[in-house]
Amino acid sequence: MQNPKGNILVIDDNKSILSALEILLIPEFNEVTLFSNPNQILNELSKKDYNLVILDMNFKAGVNTGNEGIYWLERIKEAKPEISVVMITAYGDINTAVKALKSGASDFILKPWDNEKMIATLKLAIQLNISKTEVLQLKERESGLKKEINRDERNIIGSSPQLTNVLNLVKKVAKTDANVLITGENGTGKELIAQEIHRLSSRSKEVLVSVDMGALSETLFESELFGHMKGSFTDALETRQGKFEIADKGTLFLDEIGNLSFHLQAKLLAVIENRQFSRIGSNQLIPTNIRLICATNRNLENMVHDGLFREDLLYRINTIQVELPPLRERGNDIFILAEFFLKKYSNKYNKPNLKINQQAHEKLLKYSWPGNIRELQHTIEKAVILSESSVIKPDDFLLRHPGSLNNNSSFTTLEEMEKQMIQQALEKNNGNFTAAAEQLGITRQTLYNRFKKSEDVQ
C-alpha cells in the first residue's frame, strides 16, 4: 500500500519519545525528520517543505506551563502559516490546549498516546495542510490572472482642460459603485476610461470583463452574458459561465451598448434590476455583484425618442455620464499624443531619432480627425513605416479629406473605398448599423465585422 503524502518534522527533547515516534511514523508517511532542539525548527523549515510539525509543549525540566511550545508554535505559524502543527505533551491542561489551538495548532495529543488515534490525527492534519496549500495556490493563480487580465500598458495621454475635466469626474465616480455611461465618438478612448474607473475603484483587485455588444449576434447574447448548461442547445458541449458570472465582485464593461436590439435590452434590464440571472438550460438563479460601465458613440436619448432604446434601461445604465471630447477639440493634446505614438513606433520599427517638423505639426492640428485618437495612432505608425529620413514632413501623413468618397483619385486601395462607404452609410443613418446594413445590401453582422476591420487597419 502506497504511503500517503506527508513530510513530518518532530521536535521533542525526550529522545525515547523521538525513537518511539520514528518507529511509529516512518512506515506511514513519506519522510520523518526528528530534532530534540527547538532552535533548529525555523532553519529546517526554510530548507525543506513539511506538511506537519509535531511539537512538544515543554522543553525545560520541571517546567510544565506549555509557554515554550506556544512560543515555537507562533514562530512556526509566522514562517509557514499554512503548515499544520500538532502539539504533544504529558500534561493534560485544558487551558493550555485551548491556548495552543487559538495560536494556530491543528490538534493536541497527550502522552502516552494510542497509536491508531495518533496516526488518524496526523493524517487529518496533513490533509488539512494539503487543502490549505491548494487553496493558497489557487488564490495566487487567481490573483495573478486578475493582474494579467487587468494589466494595461496603454496610458491616458494629454493635459488639455477638456481631458482634465473628464479625469476629475472619473476620480469622483470611481470611488462609488454607480453605473457609468461613457459617450463619445469612435476612437476617443472610451475603453481606456472604463479601465481607469476600474483601476481607481474599490474593485480594482478583481477582474474587469469587457464585452463588445456590437459583435454579439442575437443568438449568442444570452449564452455570452449569462452562460449555459451542457446540452441546453445543439452546440452546448459543456457548461459555461457567462460574463456576468465571470465579472462577479469586479467590473463589467459593455461596449457599443447602443447596438443592442430592443428585445435584448429588456433581458439586460431585468438582470440589472434584479441583480440575478440564470444560465440557459437552468432555473437556478445566480446572484450577481458587478459594477456596470457601458459605452456608446450613439445618442441614446435620440434613440429613446425614436423608439430604438428603452428609456428605463437608459436610466439604469446612466447614473453618471462621462462625455469624452473628440480629438479635434483637445488642442495641443494632438501634439502630445503624436509624440507619444512617434516614440512607440520608432522603437517598434527600429527607427530612432525620428522627429516631426513644424509644418507637419501644423497639418496635424488643422486636420479634423474624424477617427480621433485611433486614427492619429495609425497615421503616425504609417508615417514611421514609410519615412525615408529622420524628419517626418507634412507629405508623410496620409490623411483623408472631406468628400473624398466622390473623388476616386484619393483612393489607393479597395479597402479605403469600402471604409469610406461604410462611414458614409453610418453617418447618414445616425450610427444605426441595421439601417446602414440595409442601405449597403449586407447583413448587420457583416457590416459590423467590416467596420471593426476597417478601424484596425486605418
311-370 pLDDT tens trace: 999 999 999 999 999 999 999 999 999 999 999 999 999 998 899 999 999 999 999 999
Average pLDDT over residues 87-93: 74
Residues 181, 313 within the same domain: yes
Residues 44, 121 within the same domain: yes
Residue that terminates a domain, selected from 142, 172, 199: 142
Residues 75, 208 within the same domain: no
The verdict on residue 413 lying in a domain is yes
Residues 166, 91 within the same domain: no
Looking at residue 93, its pLDDT comes to 66
Residue that terminates a domain, selected from 97, 115, 142: 142
User: With 60 as the cut, is the pLDDT of residue 242 above it?
Assistant: yes
Residues 173, 305 within the same domain: yes
Average pLDDT over residues 232-243: 86
Which band of pLDDT confidence, cut at 50, 70 and 90, is reported for residue 458? Answer: very low
The verdict on residue 195 lying in a domain is yes
Residues 310, 255 within the same domain: yes
The verdict on residue 66 lying in a domain is yes
The verdict on residue 343 lying in a domain is yes
117-164 pLDDT tens trace: 889 889 888 888 888 877 776 766 666 565 555 555 557 899 999 999
Average pLDDT over residues 193-221: 90
Mean pLDDT across the chain, nearest whole number? 85
Q: Which of 37-41, 162-166, 199-203, 338-342 has the lowest mean pLDDT?
A: 37-41
User: With 80 as the cut, is the pLDDT of residue 430 above it?
Assistant: no
Residue 356 belongs to domain with CATH number: 1.10.8.60
Q: How many structural domains does the chain have?
A: 4
Residue 419 belongs to domain with CATH number: 1.10.10.60
Q: Which of 16-25, 75-84, 247-256, 429-438 has the lowest mean pLDDT?
A: 429-438
User: With 70 as the cut, is the pLDDT of residue 411 above it?
Assistant: no
Residues 59, 88 within the same domain: yes
The verdict on residue 282 lying in a domain is yes
Q: Which of 175-179, 196-200, 322-326, 420-424 has the lowest mean pLDDT?
A: 420-424
Residue 24 belongs to domain with CATH number: 3.40.50.2300
176-190 pLDDT tens trace: 999 999 999 999 999
Looking at residue 406, its pLDDT comes to 44
Percentage of residues in the chain with pLDDT exceeding 70?
88
3-state secondary structure the chain: CCCCCCEEEEECCCHHHHHHHHHHHCCCCCEEEEECCHHHHHHHHHHCCCCEEEEECCCCCCCCCCHHHHHHHHHHHHHCCCCEEEEEECCCCHHHHHHHHHCCCCEEEECCCCHHHHHHHHHHHHHHHHHHHHHHHHHHHHHHHHHHHHCCCCCCCCCCHHHHHHHHHHHHHHCCCCCEEEECCCCCCHHHHHHHHHHHCCCCCCCEEEEEHHHCCCCCHHHHHHEECCCCCCCCCCCEECHHHHCCCCEEEEECHHHCCHHHHHHHHHHHHHCEECCECCCCCEECCCEEEEEECCCHHHHHHCCCCCHHHHHHHCCEEEECCCHHHCCCHHHHHHHHHHHHHHHHCCCCCCEECHHHHHHHHHCCCCCHHHHHHHHHHHHHHHCCCCEECHHHCCCCCCCHHHCHHHCCCHHHHHHHHHHHHHHHCCCCHHHHHHHHCCCHHHHHHHHHHHHHCC
User: With 50 as the cut, is the pLDDT of residue 457 above it?
Assistant: no
Average pLDDT over residues 77-102: 81
Looking at residue 456, its pLDDT comes to 54
The verdict on residue 247 lying in a domain is yes
Residues 342, 410 within the same domain: no
User: With 90 as the cut, is the pLDDT of residue 414 above it?
Assistant: no
Q: What residue numbers bound the domain in which 276 lies?
A: 161-325
Looking at residue 172, its pLDDT comes to 96
The verdict on residue 111 lying in a domain is yes
Residue that terminates a domain, selected from 87, 113, 142: 142
Residues 314, 198 within the same domain: yes
Average pLDDT over residues 393-399: 88
The verdict on residue 264 lying in a domain is yes
Which band of pLDDT confidence, cut at 50, 70 and 90, is reported for residue 409? Answer: very low
